[in-house]
Structure 1
Amino acid sequence: MGWQVFLASVCFMQGGIIQGLIALNNPDYVFRPYHTTLLTIGAIVFAIVFNTLLAKKLPLMEGAVLILHVVGFFAIVIPLWIMAPRGNASTVLFGFSNNGGWQSTGLSAMIGLSTPLTALVGYDCSVHMAEEIHDAGITLPRVIVWSVNGNALLGFLMAVTLIFTLGDVDSVLNTQTRQPFIQLFYNATRSRAGTSVMTAIVVVMLNACCVSEVATASRQLWSFARDGGLPGSSWLSVVPTGWNIPIRSVAISVLVTTVLACINLGSTTALNAINSLGGVSVLASYIITIGCLVHRRLTGRPLPSRRWSLGRYGLGINIVALCFLVPLFFFEFWPLARPVTAVNMNWASLMFGVTIMFALFWYAVKGRHQYSGPVVHVKREE
């Protein structure tokens, strides 16, 4: 559920940024909901081409994106270092703004963590491709560790750069582009062309994210269907002859994104309510998984054999991870600002509750009779 919603969210985000880019270069541009919907569908169509007709070229594309990722990082931060105004260190590091209307800055800060959450989740993206990776037992953990370490460094440098070059906060937040980072780029460069190039790098990277998330969401959907955990599992789990990819699961993932994009035509509030499911769903899966590991370690039950192990530090790392994730999960249900209205309300609690109730109902009625987890399959093969 989390990855299906995240896929739609990233495509929708890409569409919104493209609209912001149009507004930057054409001040008379009027934002229309159907523009965002069409751009979102365009992003998912591009992603499905790479995941079907050009599936064999996907590793090549990922390699090219990695190069752009590193080069694009410097193409953005260097102009900001050179051209943007510098903020005062004491103000930047110790000045706090409570623009959410909450009683305390601390509470506002905790609630505000839901905004950058997308940069802190998704580490399991490559895990869902495990069955298509050679020697996944050792390759995947190494990939995750090195990618997280590398991007943590780049992310820290980017964060420091942005907070020191933010400039006039009001102009950034109230920008006509509806994308604060675009206004930040323009305030620094004072060039629409330069800002467009810097923003285009972000758009291309998001497009690559869409391609990768289609691969992840479809594989996750297929593997769960293969184990009998979904309605229509017998149809979803079939890989048609001549295809080495779960084409039906890819099609369903694209269909879900398209339907969610069309909801924006009627109500942006309804779309935001559904999109809010992404963060809480992924966080819930992390908490459940790590919680099971902690329970096993504390009760002395042996863990399955594995080639990658955290050793004696595993329990401590798992507990620290839970201490970080649980508060994030709690505040993910809070609205970002007060007073709370139907428009700015965070409907994640309602959507998450309804989804869990449906899942429990499905499991009680039929799922428990046909679902057998992947561990059971492994034991049978042995």
Structure 2
Amino acid sequence: MKPVGGQPNVQALNVGTNTTDEITDEHETDTKGGNANDQGNMYRMNKQQELRRNFRFLSIFGYSLLLGNGWCLSIIGLLIPLTNGGSAGTIWMYLIIIIGMVFSTLSMAELASMAPTAGGQYHWVSEFAPREYQRVLSYLTGWLCVLGWQTALCATAYSAALALQGMIALCIPDYSAPAWHGVLLTLGGVMVTIIFNTIFLRKLPAFEGGMLVIHIFGFFAVFIVLWVMGDKAPAREVWLEFEDAQGWGSVGLAMLVGSLSASGSLVGADSAAHLGEELRDASWVLPRSMIACAVVNYSLTFLMVVTILTVKGGTVEELIATDYVQPYVQIFYNVTQSRSGALALTALLWVLLMFGIINQVTTASRQLWSFARDRGLPWSNFLSRVQPGWEIPLNAVVVTLAFSVIVSMIILGSPVAFFTLGSLCYSALYASYIICIGCVARKRIVGEPLLPSRFDLGPRLGLFVNLAAIAFAMVQFLFVFFPTAPNPTVPYFNWTLLVFVVVLLWALLYYHIWGKKAYQGPVTYVRRTQ
């Protein structure tokens, strides 16, 4: 197979299939662990198989579950929904978010089966958007995905650093947790991941299987300790008593504001899709692993949310004023009444967060590499290079880590500004979901054919799922820009909207000055296979 290049095939929109009867050795001589279906998909998309297909169902399932880390993140982000809706509001909003994310995951799984590529959303937009808009919409979606996954990595790395600072505070009572310690620990955590994303990359699938076991047993360790050792709140208080502690004037509005934490714990339905070129039989395995991961991740997350709200771990005021850096560390200490017990539980969360960072580096670098391969970024030749013998996009991995290092320095100036940047992950990813799923829904509405899929939702169910996913993503996208409390002071204002708009304006400016000369969109290179 020849790499992408040559004259764009503007007539190729929606005419490819997954059949491989016509594929011969002259099209691809090295499948790098793929099978005939993988070979056919790569041939149709006119992409060279540069990465080795090391992943199988269990390893990609473990990869996605560790990257999502829903039950860990739900503990970390507890205070925002707790002060915006109370215990009952948090539980019911999590349930609503889970239902919405199921629709999003189903939509993404179908798209991943149609075109299993590291590009993900921007590639799907290019194939399914109206021809006159495919290039600019695909380009913007590519930038949104880059922004979303790069900032998600930064936010998770800082969460792991805060967990480590909480562990230090448990061991050293007078520890003040200065910001520069958080920066150094963030940088250290990110730098460790380069080993697993370079030298040990071929061992990563086997590693994911082992960590999957730790993830599941870790959940039950925290789950059982909290239920056995913690005091229990009355069921009515937990499930039926709503609060508007921040003073929004409406419990419903407070719950929607608090949903940011819930959606942030579960966002990332596309995470495994960006490894579509490193998975054997991707068009069949990828969508099913995405659904399996969603079922397990969402179930464990909901059970942990109910647990952490049922067990009395302290008042909101006590959790906010904790001496242990993070509220959940205070909960662990209050429940176990032991520094050692709290240290063990916090260490478990830290380990799982670290392995989530490893997987986020992989996803973020693959998406960056793919977009550069289609010439959507500055220095695309450098970012899209795969070093001979390595079979990994090393340059994209290094740039991803360098971005995290630079952004982490913002913590020194303002941790609030850093968290604002981190929330860009949600806005960018939800915006990319709206665009790509919207393009598929439009094709279904007007009756245009879609690409064949080995995970086909069907026209009626598919349209319902797509529209439900879009409606959910639009609501979440809107509330990402709300402050966590009414009438915030300037330092605590949610600046996400400003940064989001600035990035989009930069992307559009870059597109009109240079990008549109180099970027054609993946659809212009796809081959006819019939």
Scaled by the length of structure 2, the TM-score of the pair is 0.70
Q: Tell me if structure 1 keeps the 8 A contact 2:165–2:177.
A: yes
Equivalent runs, 1:50-129 vs 2, <5 Å: 50-129=196-275
Please state whether the residue corresponding to 2:312 is helix, strand or coil.
coil
146, 154, 161: which is aligned to 1:8?
A: 154
Q: Tell me if structure 2 keeps the 8 A contact 1:263–1:270.
A: yes
The residue number in structure 2 matching 1:137 is 283
2:395 aligned with 1:248, yes or no? yes
Q: Tell me if structure 1 keeps the 8 A contact 2:266–2:298.
A: no
332, 337, 344: which is aligned to 1:185?
A: 332
For the residues of structure 2 that align with 1:172 and 1:166, how far apart are their CA atoms?
Answer: 11
Bigger helix fraction: 1
Q: Tell me if structure 1 keeps the 8 A contact 2:427–2:477.
A: yes
| Greater CA drift, 300-309 or 206-215 | 300-309
The residue number in structure 2 matching 1:350 is 498
2:408 aligned with 1:261, yes or no? yes
Please state whether the residue corresponding to 2:232 is helix, strand or coil.
coil
Q: Tell me if structure 2 keeps the 8 A contact 1:219–1:249.
A: yes
Equivalent runs, 1:1-382 vs 2, <5 Å: 1-170=147-316, 171-311=318-458, 312-379=460-527
For the residues of structure 1 that align with 2:197 and 2:271, how far apart are their CA atoms?
Answer: 15
Please state whether the residue corresponding to 1:168 is helix, strand or coil.
coil
For the residues of structure 1 that align with 2:151 and 2:528, how far apart are their CA atoms?
Answer: 33
Q: Tell me if structure 1 keeps the 8 A contact 2:424–2:496.
A: yes
How far apart are 1:322 and its partner, in Å? 1.6
For the residues of structure 2 that align with 1:149 and 1:196, how far apart are their CA atoms?
Answer: 30
Q: Tell me if structure 2 keeps the 8 A contact 1:87–1:167.
A: no
Structure 1 runs of 4+ with >6 Å offset: none
For the residues of structure 1 that align with 2:529 and 2:481, how far apart are their CA atoms?
Answer: 42
The one-character-per-residue Cα deviations of 1:185-241 (angstroms, maximum 9, x if unpaired) are 111111111111111111111001100000000000000000011111122111122
For the residues of structure 1 that align with 2:285 and 2:161, how far apart are their CA atoms?
Answer: 34
Q: Tell me if structure 2 keeps the 8 A contact 1:227–1:373.
A: yes
Structure 1, unmatched stretches of 5+, are none
Q: Tell me if structure 1 keeps the 8 A contact 2:313–2:330.
A: no
For the residues of structure 2 that align with 1:326 and 1:166, how far apart are their CA atoms?
Answer: 34
For the residues of structure 2 that align with 1:165 and 1:303, how far apart are their CA atoms?
Answer: 49
For the residues of structure 1 that align with 2:529 and 2:195, how far apart are their CA atoms?
Answer: 35
How far apart are 1:169 and its partner, in Å? 2.3
How far apart are 1:381 and its partner, in Å? 8.3
The one-character-per-residue Cα deviations of 1:76-98 (angstroms, maximum 9, x if unpaired) are 01111111001011111112232
How far apart are 1:378 and its partner, in Å? 2.4
Relative contact order (alpha carbons < 8 A, sep ≥ 6): 1 or 2 greater?
Answer: 2
Q: Tell me if structure 2 keeps the 8 A contact 1:296–1:302.
A: yes
Paired residues, what number?
382
For the residues of structure 1 that align with 2:250 and 2:171, how far apart are their CA atoms?
Answer: 39
Q: Tell me if structure 1 keeps the 8 A contact 2:232–2:311.
A: yes
| Greater CA drift, 55-64 or 371-380 | 371-380
Aligned alpha-carbon RMSD (Å): 1.4
Scaled by the length of structure 1, the TM-score of the pair is 0.97
Structure 2, unmatched stretches of 5+, are 1-146
Please state whether the residue corresponding to 1:131 is helix, strand or coil.
coil
